[in-house]
Amino acid sequence: MSTLLLDDVSKNFGDRAAVSDLRLECRDGEFLVLLGRSGAGKSTTLRLIAGIESPTRGEILFDGERVTALPPEQRDVAMAFESYALYPHRTVREHLEFPLRAPGRNLTEAAIAERVTQVAELLEIGALLGRRPTQLSGGQRQRVSLGRALVRRSRLTLLDEPVAHLDARLRHDLRGELKRHQKAQGATSIYATPDFSEAAAVADRIAVLVDGRLRQVDTPARLYDQPADVDVALTAGDLKMNLFEADRVAAFAQPVSGVHRLGIRPSDIRVLDRPDPSALPGTVYVTEPMGYDQIVRVEAAGQVVTARMPLDRGRFEIGQQVWLAPDWRRQHPFDPQGRRLGARLP
Amino acid sequence: MTQDTRARGAAPRAARWALLSAWSLFAGFPVYWMVVTAFKQPRDIYQGPFFLPFVDFTPTLRAWEHIAGPARDTVLHGLANSLLFAAGSAFIAVVLGAFAAYGLARYPYKYGPYRNDDLSLLIVSQRIMPPIVAVIALFAMFRAAQLLDTRVGMLIAYTWFNLPLTVFLLTDFMRRIPVELEHAAALDGYGKLAQIRHVVLPLAMPGLAAAYLLSFFFSWNDFILALMLTFRDAVTLPIVITNLSAQMEPRWWLISAIGILAMLPPIVAVFLLDRFIERRVLHAPRGEDS
Amino acid sequence: MASLTLDNVVKQYGRVTAVHRMSLSVADGEFLALLGPSGCGKTSTMRMIAGLEDISDGEVRIDGKVVNRLQPAQRQIAMSFEHYGLYPHLTLFGNIAYPLTVRGVAERDVQRQVFDIASVLHIDDVLGSFPKEVSSGVQQRVSLARALVRSPSVFLLDEPLSHLDAEMRARMRGELKRLQKAKRSTMVYVTHDQLEAMTMADRIAIMNQGRLQQVGTPKEIYERPANRFVATFIGEPPMNMIDAVVAGGSDGVVLRGPDAGSVVARLDASQSAALAAALPAQGSALAVGVRPTDIDVFGPQEGGLPGRVRLREFRGDDVLMTFDAAGTRLRAIVHRDTPHQPGDPVTLVPRADRLHLFSADSGDAIGHTEDGPGGSRGRSTFLSPAH
């Protein structure tokens, strides 16, 4: 029996459909990530699970029982809000203690203190326990918000872009530690983010949301290797996949029949500074060196193609004539409706 | 970090000081005059103007003796009523106003074609009409209900008078409390009432205190409602003062003395409630990096 | 376009020194990134260049002319603010056009220039709206457009992309770089994001705690960081720092790790010879920096640094692994198919020809081993602390 099941859940705000026909299952102890752009419906989904919003249609089940009609306080769900939702008049310590003092929770003072200390250590906010939100930086606030959600060890933990406002270094470190912590606790977590790298780094499975609909739920590797449709392909990758019209590149790519568009990942394209009859000619649009890699954007085949290569393979100038050699064997074929040829339904 | 762009130098400083001093004098003089008048003999008042005690005139406690003596019951009666009406009606108006404000801020109402904004307007519009016009209707209603010159009646009148203000102020205040905080408390395991107790009330405190003080001031200073709706039992301090000047000619010394008494309760109220009106409690901007 | 020079510039707020004696020159047409963590002094420096802050000491010169006493408007500078500074009562078009209209540029030219810059920044379809009607991402680009629409001597951009989502930021980086190259503008770009600095700038000036740490091209800074701070600040994931001890081996210097018997690296004869003068005496401590891309991961074996897998993060084309080893957390980027899972014991072997050595106390760079042309012949570079 799964911890969470969304059964054909839809939510409309007026005539705008925020999410439609969601069928999602989250298994016990799983670290599931909701991936999608802003506005795709990630927050709405989390809020529906939390009970802050009620679905227009469909049912939500925890451990097989319907909770759709239950208010949030009775669902044993913890949530870290993207906007933190910290209590301005309370200290950090009070934030961490508050959930543990709720009616019905019978924890001894000692147990409360221990949990608070443990979470404070994990998130490195021990020195801030006496402060109020206005005395904290954005990153510190985010960690307090996270701490409040973690301290309860609830059945389900919802994390809405929990590291979004931290600097790159801290974001990187904290997301990994978060996952370790949740796994060590055996907790079930649902984590929302628009960033594929973040999702892929921590997820057991990723659920991709596009315009309020679930398009694919899979492991990070399968999602990356076999995106089910064009939207998923564009969402699942830290660099956007290049899409070519099949007939434009037919001579080079030899696509199978039925293919309308071909996707090639930037890392599967080599940029050559010498002419090559089997390569696409183009002009360098811009280069972005990044230390050991570089991104080279080339105007070719009527669009700007993005390629990623190691820096030591060559340096290019804006406006330089180059030739693109994609590894066509690694193409992602899509039909006229945008679906992957031979894809299985989610 | 804003640049300090004030004009520097001795001349601009002197100009600033001169301007501020002039205005302080202008604003503070009436109060000074009143205080000084309360300690003058009638002839010093009529033959005046005399500005400085012990220099221009000899101060006396005559006015105060009169208040503590023959006029004592009248003054205390008016003072007690004023206090009761101001403190009491402000309290009721704030409590009722807070409930209304929370509802208007959080729930979508719909009575026929009327929604939240319409309801707000309905409540607030009670104060658009000048009190002097509204009081005519109040008079008629109170007479029919036998509420004229009663303490209960005046409490109702002042509550009616203050409710639009408190609802207006508090609705805005409630709206500014992010509803997400209540959601967070809900997820932390607290029901609606507990959410209000732990989250909404503490954060609304500045608004509640401000609304209370303003209502207190309005009631305390009111003249027209008291004039029309009371004669004897429910008279307030302003009416007492008026009565004192109704005979022959105004007895300025008494008026000033009672005026000083009348200034004190509001000042005390401000001191008591000031600590609740914190600044920047709700100011929690979005984060940058840590 | 003009050159910009900072000559021993200092900024003090009362007793606090925010910027210590900073000297920097930006050539005409150069894109310089002023990079550093929050509080490092980069914003104060920029504000001094712009004229929004008084200069406590030193000179700022634009095209050779000292501008310390000049008001911002007289300095021929355009600035884009992190928090936009848009005029709420003007449309987005009006905002971008303002610098032109206020100088009496002809209507037709204004239209053309505004639309040109707006289309590069992908905001040409909302020009009729007002600032509060559009998202912060759009607002930020409008602020940028307003700065770029003129042709001032120097452009100052203060974290112009910070409030955009990742996708838009990636797009704008390329567009901004192209724009700068096309216009040959002198640009000073303030940011805390090292990726932005690396991908866009001709040269990077890194600051920390009010002091300039290093100035150089992205390549120089990446391959030869002047000190520990620069080494760990540049590059994502950050460079690993391992505490090591210098020891002598039969073939050359051995850098021992903190755990008994562990070895960070063995330098071959030529590497040892090249670094001999710079290395501290045998038995002394130093810090060895090695990038995650330059560590090989093996199952448990002799030599190297023993450790345990802590995290495994899938990245699409490769995997980022975090280890508990050498008394700290080390990271390595490895092939997707690597078999090691969290909890497994491993041995980490940093590549000896890709090491960066730093003094244990001052943090300054001692030397860098690197692969010279023609194979694995080590060649080291001695670097004096840059200021």
Residue type for position A209: L
Whether residue C367 has pLDDT greater than 60:
yes
CATH domain A4-235 topology? Rossmann fold (3.40.50)
**What pLDDT score was predicted for residue B279?**
58
**Best CA proximity match to B285, nearest among A134, A322, C179, A36:** A134
Q: Do B289 and C192 touch (CB under 8 A)?
A: yes
B133's tokens: 């016009």
Q: Which of A309-313, B24-28, C147-151 has the lowest mean pLDDT?
A: C147-151
Give the distance, in angstroms, between the CA of residue A202 and the centroid of all CA atoms in the same chain. 9
Tokens of C363: 């943090």
Q: Closest to B188 (Cβ–Cβ): which among A99, A142, A143?
A: A99
pLDDT tens figures, C80-129: 877 677 898 999 999 999 888 888 888 888 999 899 888 888 888 888 89
At C332, list the tokens.
Answer: 């390595």
Percent with pLDDT over 90 in chain B: 54
CB A80 within 8 A of CB A148: yes
Listed ranges A21-25, B42-46, C381-385; the one with the highest mean pLDDT: A21-25
- With bands split at pLDDT 50, 70 and 90, how would you rate the model's confidence at B285? very low
Residue with token string 């704030």:
B94
Residue B215 has pLDDT above 90, yes or no: yes
State the Cα–Cα distance between residues A46 and C143, nearest whole angstrom.
Answer: 34
Class for domain A243-334, per CATH? mainly beta
Flag if A221 and C218 touch (Cβ within 8 Å): no
Mean pLDDT of B221-236: 92
Check the CA dihedral A151-A157-A161-A167 and report its sign.
positive
Domain edges within chain A: 4-235, 243-334
The structure tokens listed for C387 are 């200021």
Angle formed at CA A103 by CA A98 and CA A106, multiple of 5 degrees = 85
Domains of chain C: 4-226 (3.40.50.300), 233-381 (2.40.50.140)
- Terminal CA-CA length for chain B: 19
Residue of chain A with shortest Cα separation from C37? A167
pLDDT exceeds cutoff 60 at B1: no
Place of tokens 């696409």: A280
CA distance A307 to A295: 6
Nearest CA in chain C to B287: C163
Residue C314 has pLDDT above 70, yes or no: yes
- The residue of chain A nearest to residue B200, with distances taken between CA atoms, is A87
pLDDT at C305: 92
- Report the pLDDT value the prediction gives residue C320, as an integer from 0 to 100: 94
d(CA C330, CA C334): 13
Whole-number pLDDT of residue C86: 86
Q: Do B288 and C52 touch (CB under 8 A)?
A: no
Q: Tell me, what's the pLDDT at B62?
A: 85
**Contact residues, chain C, for A239 at CB < 8 Å:** 170
Residue A200 is nearest to which of C194, C314, C322, comparing CB atoms? C314
Chain B residue with Cα closest to A137? B290
- Domains in chain B and their CATH numbers? 84-235 (1.10.3720.10)
The predicted structure's pLDDT at residue B5: 65
| Residue C135 Rama label (left phi>0; alpha psi -120 to 50; beta) | beta
**DSSP designation for C385:** P
Residue B166: what pLDDT?
Answer: 94
Among A176, A286, A291, beta carbon nearest to C222: A291
Judging contacts by C-beta atoms under 8 Å, the chain B residues touching residue C52 are 3
- In tens, the pLDDT along B50-75 reads 888 888 888 888 888 888 888 888 88
Give the contacts of C34 (CB within 8 A, at least 6 positions apart): C42, C45, C46, C188, C189, C190, C191, C205, C207
Decide: residue C181, CB within 10 A, 0-12 exposed, 13-18 middle, 19+ buried. Answer: middle
Sheet holding A4-13, edge to edge: A16-26, A4-13, A57-62, A65-66
Phi and psi of C56, rounded to 5°?
-70, -35
In tens, the pLDDT along C266-284 reads: 888 788 877 777 788 888 8
pLDDT at C236: 85
Contacts of B288 in chain C (CB under 8 A): 38
Q: Where are the alpha helices (DSSP H) in C128-165?
A: 136-148
On chain A, the residues whose CB falls within 8 A of the CB of C167 are 37, 240
- How sure is the predictor about C325, in pLDDT bands with cuts at 50, 70 and 90? very high
Residues from A contacting B (CB-CB < 8 Å) are 50-52, 71-73, 77-79, 81, 83-89, 98-99, 102-105, 133-134, 137-143, 148, 152, 165-167, 170
Cα C48-C51-C52 angle, rounded to 5 deg? 85
Task: Give the per-residue pLDDT at C378.
Answer: 28
CA–CA gap between residue A144 and residue B286 (Å, rounded): 14
Query: What does B95-149 look like in DSSP terms, one character per residue?
Result: HHHHHHHHHHHHS--EETTEEHHHHHHHHHGGGTS-HHHHHHHHHHHHHHTT-TT
What are the tens digits of pLDDT across the range B250-284?
788 888 899 899 999 999 999 988 888 865 444 44
Please give, rounded to a whole number of angstroms, the shortest distance from the CA of B74 to a CA of chain A.
Answer: 46
Q: Does A328 touch chain C (CB under 8 A)?
A: no
DSSP 3-state assignment of A339?
strand
- For C38, the closest of B1, B3, B289 (CB atoms) is B289
Query: What is chain B's mean pLDDT, rounded?
Result: 87
Residues B63 and C333: their CA atoms lie apart, in Å, by: 92
pLDDT digits (tens), chain A, 346 positions: 568 999 999 999 988 999 999 999 999 999 999 999 888 999 999 999 999 999 999 999 999 899 999 999 999 899 999 889 999 999 999 999 999 998 888 889 999 999 999 999 988 899 999 999 999 988 889 889 999 999 988 889 999 999 887 877 888 888 888 898 898 888 999 999 999 999 999 999 999 999 999 999 999 999 999 999 999 999 888 888 999 988 888 888 777 778 889 999 999 999 998 998 888 899 999 999 988 889 999 999 889 999 999 888 888 989 999 999 999 888 899 988 888 886 544 4
* Partners of chain B (3+ Cβ pairs below 8 A): A, C
Q: What pLDDT is stored for residue B3 in this prediction?
A: 59
Interchain CB distance below 8 Å, C52 and B289: no
Q: Could you give the residue ranges of the DSSP H alpha helices within A208-266?
A: 220-225, 230-235, 246-253
Among the partner residues C166, C311, C313, nearest to A195 by beta-carbon distance: C166
Averaged confidence pLDDT in chain C: 86
Give percent of chain C above pLDDT 90: 40
Cβ(C293)–Cβ(C335) under 8 Å? no
pLDDT score for B44? 82
Q: What is the pLDDT of residue C373?
A: 34
Instruction: Tell me whether residue B86 is exposed, middle or buried, using C-beta atoms within 10 angstroms of its C-beta: 0 to 12, 13 to 18, 19 or more.
Output: buried
Q: Do B288 and C38 touch (CB under 8 A)?
A: yes
Q: Residue B71 is encoded by which pair of tokens?
A: 């006029």
Q: Does B193 touch chain A (CB under 8 A)?
A: no
| CB nearest B3 (choices: C38, C52, C192) | C52
Q: Are the beta carbons of C223 and C370 closer than 8 angstroms?
A: yes
ipTM: 0.85
Secondary structure percentages of chain A, helix, strand, coil, to 5: 30, 30, 35
**Integer Cα distance of C385 and C387 in angstroms:** 7
Q: Scan residues 230-289 of B and list those with Cβ closer than 8 Å to C.
A: 288-289
Strand C203-208 with C211-216, pairing: antiparallel
Place of tokens 């000292």: C66
Q: What is the tens place of the pLDDT at every residue in B183-196?
A: 999 999 999 999 99
Q: Which two tokens stand for residue B253?
A: 């010394």
